[in-house]
Structure 1
Amino acid sequence: MSKLCKVIFLYIRLAFDLMIDGIFSLIFNRNYKTVPPLDLKKHGMLTESALTLAKKIRQKELKSEELVRAVIERIKEVNPVINAIAMDRYEAALAEAKEVDALIAQGLSDEEFNKKPFLGVPFTTKESQAVKGMPFTIGLICRRNEVATEDSEAVKRLKDAGAIVVASTNLPEMLVWQETRNPVYGMTNNPHHTGRTPGGSSGAEAALTASCASVISLCSDLGGSTRMPAFYCGMFGHHPTPGNTNLRGIVFRTGEDQETMVSLGFISKHVEDLGPLTKIIAGEKAPLLKLDRNVDFKDIKFYYLERSQDMLLSSVRADLKGAMKNVITRISQNITTTENAPEPYYHRGFNHMYSIWKHWMTKEPEHLPSLCTNNKGEANGIIELLKKMMCMSQYCLFTIVRLIEEQCLPKVDPEWAEKISKELKEDLFSKLGDNGVLLMPSAPQPAPYHYSCFLRPYNFAYWAIVNALKCPATQVPLGVNAQGLPLGIQVVAAPYNDALCLAVAKYLSKEFGGSIKACKYKS
């Protein structure tokens, strides 16, 4: 395609995107709700980091029961607005919190506290993460009676670290979409604007965290499922280097698939929580991520990607371009020397982000048609579409679309995909080394209106390409746009340089104000 044709296409695409937003705004800007304000006298502790709260519990400045009760009360306030909870275990969590308080009252040694760094701190996790005795439906009608018989490895590790499960949260059917919606639990809303999506597949986790209703939020990320909701809801989100967080107990994963693009991570109001929490779920592999590395900003080399030329994606909006420009300007002024100033980066691989990710999805163990039937046959996308038109299908439309794509549309040429992936990795990683980061857009636009993703299904590819490259990345909030929607960028590093991502995120948090709460405070 000639350069002129590309320019014309981009302008047509932008006009189309603006038209979509205009139409959907007429529907969803009418009666959207706001999240109840946070009462600082009752629940002010919920603004603090998990590390701070754990320290207060350890030093007997705060009881675990008080904290767990505050989380439960706050969830009950906000959930009618955002619909984030799949199933709660409030009474059991309170009983466990009382046991923690009794243990601390009796006296625990420093060694015991070191083994349980998050003792008494509550957490939530999306329902695709097995929690013993809790529903394990993955949003499927055919699994609506399934109950987990044991904890996932990540849940077990958090429990071993002293954390307490309060609830499991909503998710997209089969985890395959950019919105958090399924026929079992319904749809979750973005707390900043309930007419917009919080993203997927960890949208409910991000919605709770942004509403000050979750202290620790355990997530997973195969195509942006941690970073997308963090961006749309104005939170921090870290995607660790894949292959270093045990996946046993997530959907049907056994924990043996180390070549996967999936990585477990966390969404948080406070960037300082992300490293210590990642250590917990990485377990014996935590040292590989070098999370304790002392990063000297003078040594960091910054590169930035302003936009992709992938024609499947929408153009990056002006507000997000402005946010990127502000970051580059601030870094140039405050961190780097003239010789180490941020440099633009591009490789032709970024022209094909979705196609590259689509190819590497074929290497993942899940087989969507089989999963749709709970491994009791295979769903057929065309048949389900016909059934959907007659209101007879049990699946969401987005699941049917993914089935049709997998079963009917042309496959990505594997030889081409693997060749361009190799070239992109070699070029990018040679530039980044062990002291470089790539700043790149999170998405073409802030949180979209509900259902509008059907008309822009590939816009998640800015996150997905990071999965395909098997890089660590941290989603960083950067204030809000004129409509009050969160802005942000991704900080990406070469594999096993997670500490670089988190160090840059911490710096940007100080410079740009940190996470963006979706609720007002009242004292």
Structure 2
Amino acid sequence: MQRLQKNGSKTDTRGYRQLSTSVFSLLSSLHARQFSRASGFTSQVSSVEVVQAYVDRIQEVNPFLNAVVKDRFAAALQEAAQVDKLIEEETGGEEVLEDRLPLLGVPLSVKESFALQGMPNATGVIARRGVVSAVDAPPVALLKRAGAVPLGVTNTSELCMWCESHNRLRGITNNPYDLERIPGGSSGGEGSILGAAGAVIGVGADIGGSIRMPCFFNGIFGHKTTPGVVSPENQHPPYTGRHEEYLSTGPMCRYAEDLLPMLKIMAGPNAHTLSLDTKVDLKKLRFFTVPHDGGGSLTNPVSGELVDAQRKVVERLEADLGVQVEEVHFPELRYGFQIWDTYMGLPDKEGKPPVPFAVRMGEPGRPVWPLWELLKWMVGKSEHTMAAIALALVEMTHVSKPSPFILQQKEQLQKKVDELLGTDGVFLYPSHPRVAPKHHHPLFRPFDFAYTGIINILGLPVTQCPLGLGEEGLPLGVQVVGGKMQDRLTLAVALYLEKTFGGWREPGAK
């Protein structure tokens, strides 16, 4: 295991491995009680005990992970005490509380890019270090209104535009399964603390894989909703151009059963559009598997162990459900990155282009000069990461008009996928070509996120599902993709895959 710097001295992370099994029995036993039956606190465990258990867990693992960048433990424990008082005074029976406050007392972590009242909202930018949220982002407010207790905010990549959660303000976040590996981005702090059992549920946002990659790398469940269902407001950076069409806010958690109730709450008045209460019969669904992107020139081939994991899912679906899983190929997927990059740069309906990344890097001051920042970085003087600087440099090379060929590839792919899925189809697709890479390695393979990014441009809902641990003890997984507004189908498949493949596995498990 890697040895980390802590308080200026070397700290042996073997202690982390020991910690990883010391409280799991407690946390696992608390989960069902606190989430599905709020009034169970009175006879089994108090809300204060639950919140304190998670506070203790974060304090044990966060020195190794650097996932939670600002806590609100004191406030959370006060809110937990209020929960216990409410339960004690409730006279209408447990059904009343469950209906009104379905997440009563459930510990919640929040990606720092979301506004959480009284918490920082810097998204890794040093110039924003003093920004504190005065309000809650809509999905956060809805979760709090349902009774969830926020424990703190978690680390992101700089301005949420990279697949590693690293910035010059908060530092780098580690993967709980191997501290030398990345937890993904931009919701990497969320993925890391949830994978390490430091919270029950979390909130992420995804415009190119920012929910799914962290969930994949950290062995948990996550759902990228159909765009427009969950409000994207009060996040930083705010969406511009056509980004609202591709940005999705969704739930992240260790247990598949928590995805559906979370989504119902986070969607607010839009929840009815997804028909989430409609029962799904998996035997009546049409299943497809897409094993790779067709050999894109910019992405790495999918590793053998991930190909094998997806094949095992196909075999179990066919054996258990009696369905036929058809293998399909879309040649347009080999242009996945180019499609994502092109559509992210398109102007909105009024002709306004997206705000340049160099402008965002300099806010609230002037835009940065990417070449100057590169020179400063080379001598250790830049306030920005290499990933952010590289993105700003690449942005300078963009042509003003999109490629007609790439636009055509996207339209062809959209038509094929929509026709294939309809309202009763789902397909399996690799989450990433490799398991969690080592720190900074994505700089040398920057386009592998195309496996997740292309789904954003297609506007489809997708659930990221863990499939156990691989050869190096790192999480395996697969994306389950459904047709537009068919979120309930992929969530139902996630429940099946959790039961069949074991779902989340504790770090260090054999």
> Is the shorter-chain TM-score for this pair beyond 0.5, marking a shared fold?
yes
Q: Secondary structure at the match of 2:447?
A: coil
The one-letter amino acid paired with 2:319 is Q
2:27 counterpart of 1:83: no
Residue deviations 1:22-77 (CA, integer Å, cap 9, x gap): xxx999xx97654443566x663422585641344323232111111111000000
In the other structure, the counterpart of 2:253 is 268
* C-alpha distance 73-412 of structure 1, shift in aligned 2 (>3 A): farther
Cα offset for 1:236?
A: 1.0
Size of the alignment, in residue pairs? 492
Q: Say whether the 8 Å CA contact 2:243–2:344 is kept in structure 1.
A: no
Residue deviations 1:295-342 (CA, integer Å, cap 9, x gap): 1122111111111121100011110111011111111212134xxx11
CA distance in structure 2 between the partners assigned to 1:331 and 1:502 by the alignment = 15
**Gaps spanning 5+ residues in structure 2: where?**
5-10, 349-353
Q: Secondary structure at the match of 1:468?
A: helix
Matches within 5 A, 1:281-320: 281-308=266-293, 309-320=295-306
Q: Secondary structure at the match of 1:372?
A: helix
CA distance in structure 2 between the partners assigned to 1:211 and 1:457 by the alignment = 26
2:472 counterpart of 1:483: yes
Residue deviations 1:234-292 (CA, integer Å, cap 9, x gap): 11111111111111111143899894211111221110100110111111111122222
* C-alpha distance 514-361 of structure 1, shift in aligned 2 (>3 A): same
CA distance in structure 1 between the partners assigned to 2:145 and 2:463 by the alignment = 26
In the other structure, the counterpart of 1:443 is 432
1:251 to 220, 236, 261: 236
CA distance in structure 2 between the partners assigned to 1:484 and 1:252 by the alignment = 35
CA distance in structure 2 between the partners assigned to 1:400 and 1:180 by the alignment = 15
Matches within 5 A, 1:153-164: 153-164=138-149
In the other structure, the counterpart of 1:184 is 169
Matches within 5 A, 1:14-25: none
CA distance in structure 2 between the partners assigned to 1:258 and 1:244 by the alignment = 14
Cα offset for 1:90?
A: 0.5
**Structure 1 range deviating more: 387-396 or 196-205:** 387-396
Cα offset for 1:189?
A: 0.5
2:449 counterpart of 1:463: no
In the other structure, the counterpart of 1:325 is 311
2:46 to 63, 66, 82: 63
* C-alpha distance 255-98 of structure 1, shift in aligned 2 (>3 A): farther
In the other structure, the counterpart of 2:215 is 230
* C-alpha distance 208-516 of structure 1, shift in aligned 2 (>3 A): same
In the other structure, the counterpart of 1:151 is 136
In the other structure, the counterpart of 1:239 is 224
CA distance in structure 2 between the partners assigned to 1:174 and 1:435 by the alignment = 37
The one-letter amino acid paired with 2:19 is P
Q: Say whether the 8 Å CA contact 1:140–1:173 is kept in structure 2.
A: yes
CA distance in structure 1 between the partners assigned to 2:482 and 2:437 by the alignment = 27
1:167 to 152, 169, 172: 152
Cα offset for 1:354?
A: 0.5
Matches within 5 A, 1:106-125: 106-107=89-90, 109=92, 110-125=95-110
In the other structure, the counterpart of 1:514 is 503
In the other structure, the counterpart of 1:278 is 263
2:36 counterpart of 1:47: no
CA distance in structure 2 between the partners assigned to 1:282 and 1:145 by the alignment = 30
* C-alpha distance 399-258 of structure 1, shift in aligned 2 (>3 A): closer
Q: Secondary structure at the match of 1:439?
A: strand
CA distance in structure 2 between the partners assigned to 1:412 and 1:235 by the alignment = 39
2:118 to 133, 140, 150: 133
In the other structure, the counterpart of 1:142 is 127
* C-alpha distance 372-331 of structure 1, shift in aligned 2 (>3 A): same
Q: Secondary structure at the match of 2:245?
A: coil
CA distance in structure 2 between the partners assigned to 1:243 and 1:81 by the alignment = 36
Cα offset for 1:356?
A: 0.7
CA distance in structure 2 between the partners assigned to 1:449 and 1:158 by the alignment = 34
RMSD after superposition: 2.5
Matches within 5 A, 1:345-384: 345-363=328-346, 365-384=354-373
Q: Say whether the 8 Å CA contact 1:154–1:281 is kept in structure 2.
A: yes
CA distance in structure 2 between the partners assigned to 1:428 and 1:370 by the alignment = 36
Cα offset for 1:156?
A: 0.8
* C-alpha distance 415-248 of structure 1, shift in aligned 2 (>3 A): same
In the other structure, the counterpart of 2:351 is none
* C-alpha distance 150-224 of structure 1, shift in aligned 2 (>3 A): same
In the other structure, the counterpart of 2:187 is 202
CA distance in structure 2 between the partners assigned to 1:188 and 1:123 by the alignment = 19
Q: Say whether the 8 Å CA contact 1:247–1:255 is kept in structure 2.
A: no
CA distance in structure 1 between the partners assigned to 2:342 and 2:365 by the alignment = 26
CA distance in structure 2 between the partners assigned to 1:108 and 1:299 by the alignment = 44
Q: Secondary structure at the match of 2:332?
A: helix
The one-letter amino acid paired with 1:230 is C
Q: Secondary structure at the match of 1:352?
A: helix
Cα offset for 1:419?
A: 2.5
CA distance in structure 2 between the partners assigned to 1:408 and 1:258 by the alignment = 20
Residue deviations 1:388-411 (CA, integer Å, cap 9, x gap): 122221110000000011112446
Residue deviations 1:388-446 (CA, integer Å, cap 9, x gap): 12222111000000001111244672533333222111111111111111101111110
* C-alpha distance 390-240 of structure 1, shift in aligned 2 (>3 A): same
Q: Say whether the 8 Å CA contact 1:64–1:97 is kept in structure 2.
A: yes
Residue deviations 1:367-403 (CA, integer Å, cap 9, x gap): 3121111243222222211221222211100000000
The one-letter amino acid paired with 1:183 is R
Residue deviations 1:450-470 (CA, integer Å, cap 9, x gap): 011110001111011111111
In the other structure, the counterpart of 1:3 is none
Residue deviations 1:182-230 (CA, integer Å, cap 9, x gap): 1111111101000000111111111111111111111111111111011
Cα offset for 1:145?
A: 1.1
* C-alpha distance 243-418 of structure 1, shift in aligned 2 (>3 A): farther
**Structure 1 range deviating more: 467-476 or 258-267:** 258-267
Q: Secondary structure at the match of 1:193?
A: coil
Q: What is the identity percentage for the equivalent residue pairs of Structure 1 and Structure 2?
A: 34
CA distance in structure 2 between the partners assigned to 1:464 and 1:206 by the alignment = 18
* C-alpha distance 256-293 of structure 1, shift in aligned 2 (>3 A): farther
2:203 to 218, 227, 239: 218
Q: Say whether the 8 Å CA contact 2:37–2:98 is kept in structure 1.
A: no
